[in-house]
Amino acid sequence: MIALPAAPPPLIAMVSHRAPFAVAAQVDPDVATLTAQPYLKSIRWVPVAAPLNTTIVAVLDTGVAVAAAGLQGRINTAGAMSFVAGGNALVDPQGHGTHVAGVIATIASGTSTTLGVSILPVQIADAQGQTSAQSLASGIRYAVSQRAKVINLSVQGAGFSKIEQDAINDATRAGVLVVAASGNTGGNAKEYPGAYRHVLAVGAVDAAGQPLAESTQGLQVAVAAPGRDILSSGAQVASGGPRFETRTGTSMAAAIISGVAARIYAARPTLSPAQVTEMIMASGNNPAGRLDRARGTGVVNLIKALRMKSPQADAPEPDDDPPNARILPPLIAAGQTQGERHGRLRTWADLRDDAVVYLEAGQTLKAQANVSNKADVDLYLWRPKAPVYRTGAIFARKWLAVGAVNAGSTETVQYTAKRAGNYVLEVRLAGAQRIVRPTYHLRARVTK
């Protein structure tokens, strides 16, 4: 796991690398070693049976060694980018990024003749594994510009950063799935980026499926994967170092989930991040109703995820705060009198959905939300220009127009506007229900 400090330093200059893209001509013998590892059995791994679409997976890490075992033909050398001063994304002095990339490539394909994945190295951390919020955010935006479908973040830090959350929101809006390690500090302290919204946070388990002691727990953990003694590609092959090395932690577990996501995208490239997240979470091996803070829905099952029917498309994301909602199509625009929306709320990463409702002064809004799975839903109406990332009683008194927090799966609000503007109607899961993944139906009507 590479470390992320709480406060971002100034932006580090970009260093671009433009080596040609390599294509494997024959089966790499190292792949046989990587695909024989015992952890693959616990996730029901199977190799790719037929040529599929190629999924671009961005590895934001310490770099990816271009000559590493098992990665020949799988590295997008032309697009490699460094956000570390004097760095080179195709050289990995720490080895962490190469190990992560090897895991992803193994899960995503398993043979050299049927690739199915292109690893995009984006170096955001130095030889000591240190990075910054600015580098991480810049790396995310670069990966989106290179048409990555999955971004792997095997990093951790204790502080929330708005620039990181904004970058993740933009990636989600662009149709990119962001996968992050939950962290290696153990306990229940929030670790970022795993605790950000719209991130698929991954916990780590051992060979018996038990959580690792160092795997950070919490409501943000969506799913789990093996993380103990994972063998993968070594970074120092070119200088005579070992071809493989073994590492432990949630970094490895996150890489496994990124590989599973790549497999799903290769078969169904038009799915949204929310749909892929749902398929991965639904494949977990925990019995229904027995979710936990260390493993989420349980250890991922690749075969089950691949065979799963594509979930119903969600409302446009991200839409879980007023500023994001305002740039999406409104529920009720000026001149309209009614609207409805279907969506899904998912655990920590997407507890609430917001939608814009335009009201003239004197108009009355009546809105109702119904939620599935016997979940408890609340309904709030925020005044125009309500800011983001703020909570508390003082904030609510200033910006909340009306709220309904009764127990039950149906909630209704009514409000007569005192001034015209774009109000924001919010559907939110009650605190006790944050580990369910219900769908909802929101209906609203405006009258004089």
Q: What is the pLDDT of residues 75-99, one digit of tens each?
A: 999 999 999 999 999 999 999 999 9
pTM score of the predicted model: 0.88
Helix, strand or coil, per DSSP, at residue 73: coil
128 and 248 fall within a common domain? yes
75 and 184 fall within a common domain? yes
User: Residue 74 pLDDT > 60, yes or no?
Assistant: yes
Residue 372 among the catalytic residues: no
Domain that holds residue 83: 2-307
User: Residue 246 pLDDT > 80, yes or no?
Assistant: yes
Number of domain units in the chain? 2
- Which one of 61, 92, 314, 319 is the catalytic residue? 61
- Which one of 30, 42, 96, 232 is the catalytic residue? 96
49 and 187 fall within a common domain? yes
Helix segments in 199-317, DSSP class H: 250-267, 273-282, 302-307
AA identity, residue 297: T
Considering the domain boundaries, does residue 312 fall inside one? no
182 and 47 fall within a common domain? yes
Please state the rounded mean pLDDT for residues 307-323. 86
Per the model's pLDDT, the better-predicted residue between 2 and 215 turns out to be 215
- Which one of 154, 251, 258, 272 is the catalytic residue? 251
Residue 251 among the catalytic residues: yes
CA distance 175 to 391: 28
Residue 135 among the catalytic residues: no
pLDDT-wise least confident of 134-148, 156-170, 250-264: 156-170
Considering the domain boundaries, does residue 316 fall inside one? no
Confidence of residue 17 (pLDDT cuts 50, 70, 90): very low
**Which residues, 6+ apart, have CB-to-CB distance to 315 below 8 Å?**
341, 342, 343, 344, 353, 355
Phi, psi of 299, rounded to the nearest 5 degrees: -75, 135
Confidence of residue 431 (pLDDT cuts 50, 70, 90): low
User: Residue 45 pLDDT > 80, yes or no?
Assistant: yes
Considering the domain boundaries, does residue 426 fall inside one? yes
Confidence of residue 327 (pLDDT cuts 50, 70, 90): confident
AA identity, residue 95: G
Considering the domain boundaries, does residue 254 fall inside one? yes
Which pLDDT score, from 0 to 100, does residue 292 have?
Answer: 87
66 and 189 fall within a common domain? yes
Considering the domain boundaries, does residue 41 fall inside one? yes
Which pLDDT score, from 0 to 100, does residue 433 have?
Answer: 52
Please state the rounded mean pLDDT for residues 205-209. 96
Helix 250-267 / helix 273-282 crossing angle, nearest 10 deg: 110
Task: Give the percent of the chain with pLDDT over 70.
Answer: 90
